[in-house]
């Protein structure tokens, strides 16, 4: 689908996407889309396929199944390369280069380079342009790597754990910088992270993966609003019948106390305490329960032969 000016509404569209490394299926049956302009958190346990997915979108890895489109063009089309910036987990930079050399390299390699943007990011961290990259702290190196990425003026910024090695203060600073630059440039950001607090504060979209498959995808608010956390005193063994008629993502019992994360299919009957769960409760529920059906909001879902099935939802407290 395209907008009035002909641009694709979707930054990423995966249809039946898969990546196999010999016997390992790192990504499989992956059908999802991320709208242009989203700041999307990519979350999941170690080995879930997050880096593989980012690597395919960044054109570093070639899909072995299905298709992947970036702003409507097949990922194999070299024309889209200039639109994408990728910040790998280890933020590769040349340690012998100064900050200034690094920005010069960015300028020489990228036809759309914006020196003012790159310098603003570096200067706002009070980094001397003459400092050698190898002498910088982890947080300062992250800032240089982000300057290099944003200097490209990308439409799509793919970040693999951008804040993993930062202290809380530096992480807060880098998060603010990232959101401000992304908003100013109108860029779409897909950012993998194990730091759920960062994802909750920064991201308006979520893509949760496990075992190379989509578990949750769509607008964060909508995903959370589709769930309820139900607690109360259990009177029978197993999941009480009035709860079992909803989609039960996860349930547990401690003594006589029963707790369940559900996707309500209508009003929840019975004497239960019912609240809307937080991001961490929802994510952990899905990651602990591989058999729970995935949930994709209408914006994230791709219908068709490779699209995921989704149940009808009716959310009521």
Where do contacts with ligand ATP occur on this chain (CB under 6 A)?
A: 21, 24, 26, 44, 46-52
Q: Least separation, in Å, of the C-beta of 192 and ligand ATP?
A: 6
CA distance 87 to 154: 12
| Residue number, 44 or 80, with CB nearest to ligand ATP | 44
Residue 304 is encoded by which pair of tokens?
Answer: 């068709």
Q: Least separation, in Å, of the C-beta of 280 and ligand ATP?
A: 17
Q: Report which of 145, 182, 171, 167 is spatially closest to residue 40, judged by C-alpha positions.
A: 182
Q: Least separation, in Å, of the C-beta of 300 and ligand ATP?
A: 19
Contact 190, 35 (CB under 8 A): no
| Residue number, 28 or 251, with CB nearest to ligand ATP | 28
**196 alpha-carbon distance from chain centroid:** 11
| Residue number, 140 or 192, with CB nearest to ligand ATP | 192
Q: What is the greatest pairwise CA distance in the chain?
A: 70
Where helices occur in 186-294 by DSSP H, the ranges are 196-202, 220-225, 241-244, 279-288
Contact 260, 248 (CB under 8 A): yes
Number of neighbouring beta carbons within 10 Å of residue 10: 23
Q: Least separation, in Å, of the C-beta of 212 and ligand ATP?
A: 7
Q: Least separation, in Å, of the C-beta of 75 and ligand ATP?
A: 16
CA distance 62 to 18: 10
Contact 57, 80 (CB under 8 A): no
| Residue number, 47 or 186, with CB nearest to ligand ATP | 47
Residue 270 is encoded by which pair of tokens?
Answer: 């019975």
Number of neighbouring beta carbons within 10 Å of residue 314: 12
Q: Least separation, in Å, of the C-beta of 98 and ligand ATP?
A: 30
Q: Least separation, in Å, of the C-beta of 30 and ligand ATP?
A: 12
CA distance 4 to 294: 32
| Residue number, 47 or 290, with CB nearest to ligand ATP | 47
| Residue number, 23 or 256, with CB nearest to ligand ATP | 23
| Residue number, 88 or 200, with CB nearest to ligand ATP | 88
Q: Would residue 44 be called left, alpha or beta, if left means φ above 0 and alpha means ψ between -120 and 50 degrees?
A: left
């Amino acid at each position: 689908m395209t907008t009035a000016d002909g641009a694709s509404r979707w930054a990423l569209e995966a249809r039946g996407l898969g990546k196999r490394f010999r016997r390992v299926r790192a990504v499989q049956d992956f059908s999802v889309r991320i709208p242009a302009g989203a700041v999307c958190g990519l979350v999941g346990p170690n080995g879930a396929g997050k880096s593989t997915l980012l690597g395919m979108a960044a054109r570093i890895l070639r899909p072995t199944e299905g298709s992947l489109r970036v702003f409507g063009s097949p990922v194999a089309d070299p024309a889209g390369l200039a639109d994408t910036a990728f910040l790998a987990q280890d933020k590769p930079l040349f340690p012998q280069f100064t900050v200034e050399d690094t920005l010069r390299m960015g300028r020489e390699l990228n036809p759309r380079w914006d020196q003012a943007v790159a310098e603003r990011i570096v200067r706002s961290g009070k980094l001397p342009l003459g400092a050698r990259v190898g002498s910088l702290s982890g947080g300062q190196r992250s800032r240089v790597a982000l300057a290099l990425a944003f200097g490209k003026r990308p439409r799509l910024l793919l970040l693999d754990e951008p804040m993993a090695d930062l202290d809380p203060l530096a992480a807060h600073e880098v998060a603010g910088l990232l959101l401000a630059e992304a908003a100013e440039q109108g860029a779409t950001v897909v950012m993998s992270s194990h730091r759920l607090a960062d994802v909750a504060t920064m991201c308006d979209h979520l893509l949760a993966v496990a075992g190379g498959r989509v578990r949750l995808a769509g607008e964060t608010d909508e995903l959370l609003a589709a769930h309820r956390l139900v607690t109360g005193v259990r009177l029978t063994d197993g999941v009480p019948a009035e709860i079992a008629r909803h989609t039960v993502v996860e349930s547990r019992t401690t003594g006589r106390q029963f707790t369940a994360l559900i996707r309500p299919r209508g009003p929840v009957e019975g004497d239960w305490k019912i609240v809307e769960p937080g991001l961490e409760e929802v994510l952990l529920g899905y990651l602990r329960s591989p058999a729970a059906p995935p949930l994709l909001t209408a914006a994230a879902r791709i219908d068709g032969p490779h699209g995921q099935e989704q149940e009808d939802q009716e959310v009521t407290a």
